[in-house]
Amino acid sequence: MFQSTVASAAIVGSAAYLAGYAHTAATDRPPMLQVALIGASGHASDVLSLIESLNRDAPAEHYSHCRVVGLFHSDPASMDSRRFEDRDVEVLALDTLVGLAAEMTGLRYIACVGYPSDRQDVAQSAAVVGLEPLTVVHRTAAIGTNVTLGTGVVILAQTSISPVASIGDHSYISHGALVGHDTIIGAYSSLMPGCSVSGDCIVGPGSTIGSNATVLEKIEIGAGATVGAGAVVTRNVAAGDTVVGAPAKVVSSRR
Ligand SMILES: CC(C)(COP(=O)(O)OP(=O)(O)OC[C@H]1O[C@@H](n2cnc3c(N)ncnc32)[C@H](O)[C@@H]1OP(=O)(O)O)[C@@H](O)C(=O)NCCC(=O)NCCS
């Protein structure tokens, strides 16, 4: 049994979690998960790629696969469809998702939009139509002991979540991001590629930590704050502030 706590609706790719999904007989295996990706931008493309890799790597006779029923966008015609060519998925009108949610029992969704506040809006609307969020974790993510993952969390490749860390609902942990031991990442946060949040930090809900930024240990990042790409955060950041540079300084504030 794996020790970490994962939201019930999860497909996960690290060896430890796959152990939790192993079944001895083909008839025992969990049913295929069906998921709607809400969003059709590069963010959605990354999430789709993660699901594609999980389906490719897990033998179907032992593990539940995940079928993406569509990428849903309010204006499909405005999206650059080339990024989804040859990927066995369609970009569909968001309106159609309401009917689909009613028809398909157990349909899950992932909010695949970049801004934390937009992700929160998506999650609220999805809850109204009865969709349940799905958590997906790349098989190369190193997930420590007693890590807690919320619902609707996305964890991309080559990431590391140290022991006793907690990742809030609908957070997005991008390629190569590191989360230190005992650190709490609030709901709807985005950790951009290559950033490091050290141990014993608290990142407030709806925060963004930019690419390759470093947050030193025991720092508190307030709700809705933004840390610029490459910043080194040496002091607490107030809610709604944007900080850049090394050491990081405030450049704007939404307080
Ligand atoms: C910090 C950030 C959010 C600021 O965006 P913004 O509010 O639009 O601010 P601006 O672009 O107007 O920049 C404000 C000032 O900060 C500077 N600045 C912006 N980002 C900076 C950064 N990462 N490091 C250092 N200085 C930065 C700008 O040069 C500008 O300085 P000036 O007033 O002297 O000209 C943004 O630049 C950033 O770094 N976002 C993270 C991006 C990221 O990691 N993306 C991942 C994609 S996968």
Question: Domain containing 223: what range?
Answer: 177-253
pLDDT of res. 106: 86
Regions of the chain short of the pLDDT cut 70: 1-31, 58-64
Give the whole-number percent of the chain exceeding pLDDT 70.
Answer: 85
Best residue among 46, 196, 251 to mutate for probing ligand 1, ranked by most atoms within 8 Å of CB: 251
CA–CA separation, 155 vs 44, rounded Å? 13
60 and 10 together in one domain: yes
132 and 236 together in one domain: no
Which protein residue has the closest C-alpha to ligand 1 atom 17? 244
CA–CA separation, 139 vs 215, rounded Å? 25
Cα-to-centroid distance, 213 and ligand 1 (Å): 12
* pLDDT tens figures, 195-216: 999 999 999 999 999 999 999 9
The domain spanning residue 69 has which CATH number? 3.40.50.720
Mean pLDDT of the chain: 88
Phi/psi zone of residue 11: left (φ > 0), alpha (ψ -120 to 50 degrees), beta? beta
In-domain check, residue 145: no
Cross-strand partners of 190:
172, 208
pLDDT of res. 23: 34
191 and 117 together in one domain: no
- 228 pocket-lining for ligand 1 (C-beta < 6 Å): yes
132 and 182 together in one domain: no
Catalytic residue among 73, 138, 175, 181: 181
pLDDT of res. 28: 52
Does this model's pTM top 0.85? My answer is: yes
What is the chain's Cα-based Rg?
18
Q: Could you report how far apart the first and last alpha carbons of the chain are, in Å?
A: 45
Domain total for the chain?
A: 2
93 and 181 together in one domain: no
